[in-house]
Every structure is written in C-alpha cells, then in structure tokens.
C-alpha cells in the first residue's frame, strides 16, 4: 500500500529530528525477522533508551540531507529492508541492542552506522562498536578500580585492630588463669 505524501513528510521530519539529536545511529537488515520478533527488539531497545524505526531508505536519505551534520555522509549502504536504532543518550547502545538481538535472531544483520559528527561506519566498524562496554559497565569498572585500593586499606586496618583484640583477649585469659 502506498504511503501518502503527508505521511512521508511527517516521517522525514521525525527522522530528521531523531538524527539531529542522536549520538549514534545503528542500521541493521531485518529481512526474515517476524513482526513479533521486531516487537521484542523494540521492547529491548526501549529499556536501553534506544528508539527503533523502520522507515523507507529513500526517506532516511531525504532526512539526512535536511540535517546539517549528515549532508555529506555516505549512504550507499542503505539498501534493502533496514531497521534504524537511534539513541540521543549513549553512543554504544544502538549497536549493542541490535548486536544482542542478532545473537538470538541471526536473520538480523548489522549493516552500518552513523555517528553524531556525520561519520559513516561500515559493518566492521559498527560491529566493533557493539563489542565495547556500555556507559553503565564503564562506570562500574571505574568505581571498582577506585574502590579496590580503599578495600585493601580497610582490610589492612581491620587486620591490625583484630590482632590487637586477639592480644588483649589472650592477656585477659592469662590474667584470669
């Protein structure tokens, strides 16, 4: 069924807004993925703060031309049935959401991506990006790195206090005997 001109214009405006605000856009081919599985992908993406859009590639190209950052971006990889994962919060989350889902559903294949600066990433680039830890994981790693020396100091101090207590207890038992 053909899409009306008004619907196309609203889709282009929506995609232009999403692209302008995005830190990362990941693109995957979804041929062979059922509607129910796409709904599962949307739920998983929503939990990660990622927006999933299925829009005609031609309309995405028009939206990219309307966005200053993406005017000179290479769009040659935008062919076939594609799903767009967009995040305005995290640079890695869109690629991770699609990569995680593609492990359960091999029909979904990462194709390319676009950074906030308008740089196009090929399949290898977006796959490498998906392998990076998320912001939450990086924060956890940083906290554990900072906390490790502190927990060591606490262990040493508690060990010294414990040995003093053992010595006092032994002296008390010696005096009582």
Range of the domain at 141: 133-177
User: How many Å from the N-terminal Cα to the C-terminal Cα in the chain?
Assistant: 97
Confidence check: pLDDT of 175 > 90: no
Give yes or no: residues 89 and 154 share one domain: no
Give yes or no: residues 87 and 169 share one domain: no
Round to whole Å and give the CA distance between 75 and 40: 27
Q: Give the pLDDT band (50/70/90) at residue 27.
A: very high
pLDDT at residue 86, rounded to an integer: 95
Contact 51, 41 (CB under 8 A): no
Compute, in degrees rounded to 10, the torsion defined by CA atoms 26, 32, 35, 38: -30
pLDDT digits (tens, 9 = 90+) for 116-164: 898 999 999 999 988 888 777 778 878 877 777 766 666 666 767 777 7
Confidence check: pLDDT of 45 > 90: yes
Q: What is the pTM of this model?
A: 0.76
- Averaged over 9-18, what is the pLDDT? 91
pLDDT at residue 153, rounded to an integer: 65
pLDDT at residue 81, rounded to an integer: 92
- How many structural domains does the chain have? 2
- With vertex at residue 17, the alpha carbon angle to CA 134 and CA 108, rounded to the nearest 5 degrees, is 50
Q: Give the pLDDT band (50/70/90) at residue 44.
A: very high
SS3 for 107?
Answer: coil
Give yes or no: residues 64 and 145 share one domain: no
Give yes or no: residues 96 and 167 share one domain: no
The H helix count followed by the E strand count for the chain is 6, 5
Nearest CA-CA partner of 73 in 124, 110, 116, 129: 116
pLDDT at residue 1, rounded to an integer: 59
Q: Which residue has the tokens 């699609």?
A: 98
Packed helices 57-66 and 5-21: angle between N→C axes, nearest 10 degrees: 60
Give yes or no: residues 163 and 103 share one domain: no
CB burial of residue 83 (10 Å; 0-12, 13-18, 19+): buried
Give yes or no: residues 38 and 61 share one domain: yes
């Amino acid at each position: 069924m053909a899409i009306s001109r008004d619907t196309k214009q609203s889709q282009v405006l929506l995609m232009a807004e999403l692209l302008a605000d995005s830190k990362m856009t990941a693109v995957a081919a979804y041929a062979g993925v059922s509607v129910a599985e796409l709904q599962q992908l949307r739920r998983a993406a929503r939990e990660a703060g990622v927006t999933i859009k299925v829009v005609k590639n031609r309309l995405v190209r028009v939206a990219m031309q309307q966005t200053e950052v993406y005017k000179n971006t290479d769009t040659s990889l935008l062919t076939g049935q594609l799903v767009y994962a967009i995040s305005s919060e995290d640079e890695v989350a869109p690629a991770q959401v699609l990569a995680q889902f593609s492990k359960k559903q091999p029909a979904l294949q990462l194709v390319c991506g676009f950074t906030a600066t308008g740089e196009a990433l090929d399949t290898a680039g977006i796959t490498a990006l998906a392998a990076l830890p998320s912001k939450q994981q990086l924060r956890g790693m940083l906290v554990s790195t900072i906390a490790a020396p502190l927990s060591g100091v606490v262990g040493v101090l508690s060990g010294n206090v414990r040995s003093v207590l053992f010595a006092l207890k032994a002296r008390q038992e010696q005096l009582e005997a």
